[in-house]
Chains A and B, each alone.
Chain A
């Protein structure tokens, strides 16, 4: 029997097949990235020791079941909350636990408001009927208030350490291992934790 060469397979339609698959994946792909507000829940502690906190160091935020906002016993609109929280946190009317004054605060130094960012606590309380959307918008403003202060501080002390024109959020982004930013990430992380210490996020939620 004569040996016949295998007939060549026509590859002309390969592109069509590949296109078909390509279009399928193009359509099904969702490039969505998940975004959200990161928070940390407090651990459950057995010891119920009562730490006495001065009333002036607590910024009470209440959300009722009708989606109304009450801040320090007064009704408030959500849009004004950020400024009010910044004013409270940045007041610096007294000293921290070590007896130091807040030398980076730019607040009014009102003796009736918070002593030091280190001591200032925002207490958030909601009712079961509060809607989640409203809760998130309030949560967003409060986290935003901390970010405002941290950004300001970053722009203040960043240039001294060699990080120019970089606010706190950008610093955090750049310090991640996955970022392509070129520079001293170790030094940047140090600066970030310093700013975090200066404006610690003390946002407690009452159950």
Chain B
């Protein structure tokens, strides 16, 4: 009689699934952390132009977004078809930009303020008139670092 009995044949042993929840939770936490919820809903058409010489925007919490474009369908009646500015969730005028920048600056810690970047998310069909006005306004409030948001073009 041997101590080591031969394993009984018959069937594949069931896989232990006790650690499945752990694995799933791990994935879940990863995606929860990586998710960035959109903070403002766009009320304008926003098709960005494409460019090849682009750089990545590193620190997302130090970026102020200014959206420009034609009002989307639901807002056409109210706001017309000319390109408009959107700050946070509202349509705005060029003169509102100074207050917007001041508010964004007040939100940030003192040592972070010099690193703020303004990202201009402008629809490619908008004309340069409104963009020029925005740039002039940004110069007035000394927010000189800007970034023309564009889609990365890998073709060349």
* Additional 4 contacts, C-beta under 8 A, given A15-B17, A22-B24: A18-B24, A34-B57, A43-B144, A136-B49
Q: In the complex, A191 Cα to B59 Cα: how many Å?
A: 25
Instruction: Count A interface residues, CB 8 Å.
Output: 45
Q: Which of B3-11, B74-82, B127-135 sits within the interface?
A: B127-135
CB pair B128 A140 closer than 8 Å: no
* Chain B contact residue count (CB 8 A cutoff): 53
A contact residues around B123 at 8 Å (CB): 132
Q: How far is the CA of A102 from the CA of B152 in the complex (A)?
A: 34
**A residues adjacent to B (C-beta < 8 A):** 11, 14-15, 18-19, 21-22, 25-26, 28-31, 33-44, 63, 126-133, 135-137, 139-140, 143-144, 147, 176, 178, 207
Q: From DSSP, what is the main secondary structure of chain B's interface residues?
A: mixed
Nearest first, the 4 A-B pairs at minimum CB distance are A133-B124, A128-B129, A25-B31, A140-B51
Least Cβ distance of B6 to chain A in Å?
34
**In the complex, number of A-B residue pairs with CB atoms less than 8 Å apart:** 143
B binding-site residues for A, Cβ under 8 Å: 17, 20-21, 24-25, 27-28, 31-32, 34-38, 49, 51-58, 60, 63, 68, 117, 119, 122-129, 131-132, 135-136, 138-140, 142, 144-152
Q: Is B125 in contact with A25, judged by CB distance below 8 angstroms?
A: no
